[in-house]
Amino acid sequence: MESFLDNITSNIGITDALDILIVSFVIYKILGFIQESRAQQLVKGLLVLVVAFFASDWLHLYTLHWILKGTVTLGVIALVVVFQPELRRGLEYVGQSKIVKPFSQIDSDEAKQIIDHIITAVLYFSQTNTGALLVFERETPLKDFSDTGTIINAYISAQMLGNIFYEGAPLHDGAVILRSGRIFAAGCVLPLTGNKDLDPELGTRHRAGIGITENSDALTIIVSEETGTISLADHGKLTRNLKRTDLEEILFSLYIGGQESDSFAINNLGRILDKLGRKKDAQ
């Protein structure tokens, strides 16, 4: 046994080890992608078909093998169609530049003022049952969506956000896109999520807030016009009933945490959202 292991290890070079590490990392990412995806049940079904495909070939079940061959091909095509938003986001992530970091150019004092203005506005919207949808642009450019609205390019302030989402204002039904420290566009139209498992009581504003996070790495804060509930969407997942402390923690990580590094901000934000999800589930 030892000689067998010695023979294997002696034939493994640096390039082989690097090859194994890269493949292992890719498989790990793919498994994580499948686990988080809305189409994971389809993936499981396709895996069952693949196993049956090889088993029918091994057992010489020719008719069944022929049927499964066509079924597996159609399954792969269906998988690409169902995963289209996730695949698009993944390709954008691979191709995006790391040279420009949207939040890194904001100093701490300015970031704290921005956070205070956003929280003041969101809490006011919640107290007055004013519907609002704030989209925080991160690495993925949102030009396609900002072009559907009106370019404002103004400093972020509670007063400006209040004017935009005032019920009688012409832009109040659309989304506001926040780029770095500015209100870049308002009245924007966003894609609706195709997730059929959502609470049927969620309206268009919430479905749009979730949909944009399925098509990009953006983060959204949504205020319900009916109940005043504050929610947050990230990567297609919705966290509801946020409080002031929750908003402070999220925005601090987004604006001030992002000054340290992209990976720190993303990982820290992920930990915050996981904690919020567990807290809401326990209530």
Q: Single out the residue in 62, 95, 128 at which a domain terminates.
A: 95
For residues 25 and 157, state if they share a domain.
Answer: no
Q: Which of 68, 95, 122 is the last residue of a domain?
A: 95
Same domain, 163 and 25: no
Where is 231: in which H helix or E strand?
Answer: strand 230-234
Domain termination residue (choose one: 40, 74, 95) = 95
- 87 with 112, same domain? no
* Cβ-contact 213, 233 below 8 angstroms: yes
Element (H, E) at 5: helix 2-10
Residue 256: both structure tokens together: 């001030």
- R_g of the chain computed on alpha carbons: 23
pLDDT tens, N- to C-terminus, the chain (283 residues) = 556 555 555 666 678 778 888 888 877 777 766 665 555 666 777 788 888 888 888 888 888 888 888 887 887 787 777 667 666 666 665 555 443 445 556 778 888 899 999 999 999 999 999 999 999 998 888 988 999 999 999 999 999 999 999 988 999 999 999 998 899 999 999 999 988 888 888 899 999 999 999 888 899 999 999 999 999 999 888 999 999 999 998 888 888 765 444 443 445 555 666 666 555 554 4
CA nearest to 115, candidates 221, 4, 255, 271: 255
Based on the fold, state whether residues 229 and 117 are members of the same structural domain: yes
Q: Are residues 160 and 131 in the same domain?
A: yes
Q: Please give the DSSP secondary-structure letter assigned to residue 242.
A: -
CATH code at position 201: 3.40.1700.10
Are the CB atoms for 198 and 238 separated by under 8 Å?
A: yes
CA atoms of 219 and 193, how far apart (whole Å): 14
The domain of 227 spans 108-282
Are 89 and 174 within one domain? no
Do 136 and 182 share a structural domain? yes
Token digits of residue 192? 């609706």
C-alpha dist (Å) from residue 138 to 73, 101, 103, 159, 249:
36, 8, 8, 24, 17
Residue at token pair 């659309």: 174
